[in-house]
Amino acid sequence: MINEIIDKLIEYIKVNKGKVVGGFIGFLLSILVLTIGFWKSSFIISCTWIGCFLGKKSYSREDIKEIFNRLTSLVRRN
């Protein structure tokens, strides 16, 4: 009985991987917002996204300086 339920659950996860991952991420984000607040959660998520973006690319020193200059110019405009 339990094995059948587990097998069906695993099959559902395989078929609907995007829905399951999205639901899990949404659940984690909601817990994060409820425990530490919206702005702190936003900051953590933003830093994580920037870190993933920079980690995914291989940059030279000039590329990193250019990205930093773009980010600081956006801050200066506001």
| CA separation for the pair 64, 41 (Å, rounded) | 26
pLDDT in tens, the chain (78 residues): 889 999 999 999 899 988 998 899 999 999 999 999 999 999 999 988 888 777 777 666 667 778 778 878 877 665
C-alpha pair distances (Å), 41 with each of 1, 12, 27, 29: 41, 30, 13, 8
* CA 8/CA 35 separation, integer angstroms: 33
Instruction: Tell me the pTM.
Output: 0.56
> So what's the pLDDT on residue 59?
62
pLDDT of residue 27: 93
Q: How confident is the model at residue 39, as a pLDDT?
A: 93
Domain ranges across the chain: 1-36, 38-78
